Structure 1
Amino acid sequence: MKNFQSIVMIILFSITSVFSQEKEILEKYGITVNTLQEGLKEGEQAYTFKAKDQNGETFDLKKALKKGPVVLNFYRGSWCPYCTKHLKNVQDSLSLIEATGATFIAVTPELADGNLELAKKKGFTFDIVEDSKLEIMNGYKVTFDVNEGYQEMLKKYERDLTKINAIKRATLPIPATYIISQDGTILKRHYDPNYKVRMSVKETLSVLENI
């Protein structure tokens, strides 16, 4: 009996230790752990939406899917160097993505003015839409509230999320990527709380070329 109790205690300690380590890592990435959503999964139906792009035109996911698959990317904002680097890689290979019949769309909580400025500065020709009420982010379950420590760090660099974001809240998406088939099924997703890790263009093209 004592041996059994000891084993149970060891297991419980291990689980608690792993959770504590995971929580610490997530908090390092600016995540308030109890607000983190788990993201839509592969095989589930994509959340459809209409939203204004950087040019004030309406992007309609349902209409885009009638033309071909859609690559949907969530990014934190123009202030994030990891986001802009990833989007630059996409732009450099955009012709290859579009050659598969696919559409690439980027979604951010940032104000539309910031999106337009970013597109002009970096030469982005794909649509960037402002998720002004977090409806798209919540639809794909990629939302989290930014913890106070990370907010204060960003403010030192004059990046106040309560001013940059359209909804005036310090809320961000996991920088996830979803590849959606024409019937609205999520074929592939990249979901990683580590904002330094993204779905590569090579992997994106591999999926698209095999649809």
Structure 2
Amino acid sequence: MTLQSKLDAFKADFEAGKPPYNVPPSVIATMRRATAELIASGAATRALRAGDRAPAFTLRDPDAQPVSSADLLARGPLVISFYRGVWCPYCNMELQALQEALPSFEGLGASLVAISPQTAANSRKSVRHNTLGFPILSDPHNDVAAAFGLRFALPDYLVDLYMSLRNDLPAFNGDASWTLPMPGRFVVGQDGVILYAEVNPDYTRRPEPEDMLPALRRAASVPA
């Protein structure tokens, strides 16, 4: 079963209000409106693309240890996944799919990191919940996401909805700005150039992990 088929199945049950979700139609309508407006804004077209140079970053893992993109690229190509947080079921399914694909990435000499704006405590929860064997990094204020062109501010009506659902992003992220990253997946070569980029303003749509393998194979064939 592909990652997207799992996401589609979850979405169908969630939007149908099946137990245990029991979500009223008004909530679904508000979420759809926000996604449609983000798509219409063209925000995704301003994200970095293949051929662009990836911004360098140093972020902290759940144990407060710094993780540098330069250090990771010194070892081989780098796969980066930006996700919204442990509170997002679509993100958790994506992280699990990436974990399943991790041996394939490592077999091609690549490292994998996932980046979200959430606090270290919630990153630790991501690792536990999804049984992950790769680093989860905290991106305060979504600054690195912004450098990749992914950060956006939630509209006021969506903030109101999240608060009514007790989805308190300032508490999750330790940041009062109410911003999130659009889900994004990147493969970066050792020279710092992006070889693969997939960004979707619809958070229910995610690329398959296997989609990155051609780029990783090309990177593996180029001497560092």
Q: Which of 68, 72, 78 is equivalent to 1:60?
A: 68
Amino acid at match of 2:157: G
Amino acid at match of 1:147: P
- Segment of structure 1 superposing worse, 132-141 or 32-41: 32-41
- Segment of structure 1 superposing worse, 118-127 or 30-39: 30-39
In the TM superposition, residue 133 of structure 1 has moved relative to its aligned partner by: 3.1
Once the two structures are superposed, residues 30-60 of structure 1 have per-residue CA deviations (whole angstroms, 9 ceiling, x without a partner) of 7497694621121111000111011221110
State yes or no: 1:42 paired with 2:50: yes
Query: Would the aligned equivalents of 2:141 and 2:179 in 1 still touch at CA under 8 Å?
Result: no
Distance 1:32 1:167, change over 3 A: farther
Q: Which of 194, 197, 217 is equivalent to 1:186?
A: 194
Query: Would the aligned equivalents of 1:105 and 1:128 in 2 still touch at CA under 8 Å?
Result: yes
Query: Would the aligned equivalents of 1:68 and 1:182 in 2 still touch at CA under 8 Å?
Result: yes
Q: Which residue matches 1:110?
A: 118
In the TM superposition, residue 91 of structure 1 has moved relative to its aligned partner by: 0.6
Amino acid at match of 1:95: P
Q: Which of 71, 88, 102 is equivalent to 2:79?
A: 71
Amino acid at match of 1:28: T
- Equivalent residue of 1:159, what SS? coil
Matches of 2:50 and 2:66, distance apart in 1: 26
How many residues are matched?
188
Matches of 1:115 and 1:30, distance apart in 2: 29
- Equivalent residue of 1:178, what SS? strand
Q: Which runs of 4+ in 1 moved over 6 A?
A: 32-35
The runs of 5 or more residues in structure 2 that have no matched partner are 1-30, 220-224
Amino acid at match of 2:35: K
Q: Which of 119, 125, 135 is equivalent to 2:133?
A: 125
The runs of 5 or more residues in structure 1 that have no matched partner are 1-23
- Equivalent residue of 2:106, what SS? helix
Amino acid at match of 1:208: L
Query: Would the aligned equivalents of 1:72 and 1:177 in 2 still touch at CA under 8 Å?
Result: yes
Distance 1:31 1:152, change over 3 A: farther
Query: Would the aligned equivalents of 2:35 and 2:201 in 1 still touch at CA under 8 Å?
Result: no
Once the two structures are superposed, residues 184-204 of structure 1 have per-residue CA deviations (whole angstroms, 9 ceiling, x without a partner) of 001110011011111211102
Matches of 1:112 and 1:31, distance apart in 2: 28
User: Which of these two proteins has the greater Rg computed from alpha carbons?
Assistant: 1
In the TM superposition, residue 166 of structure 1 has moved relative to its aligned partner by: 2.6
Give the alignment's TM-score, normalised by structure 2: 0.77
> What percent identity do the matched residue pairs reach?
26
1:1-211 to 2 correspondence within 5 Å? Answer: 27-28=34-35, 31=38, 36=43, 38-211=46-219
Give the alignment's TM-score, normalised by structure 1: 0.82
Once the two structures are superposed, residues 156-197 of structure 1 have per-residue CA deviations (whole angstroms, 9 ceiling, x without a partner) of 332111221232221000101111000000111001101111
Query: Would the aligned equivalents of 2:82 and 2:182 in 1 still touch at CA under 8 Å?
Result: yes
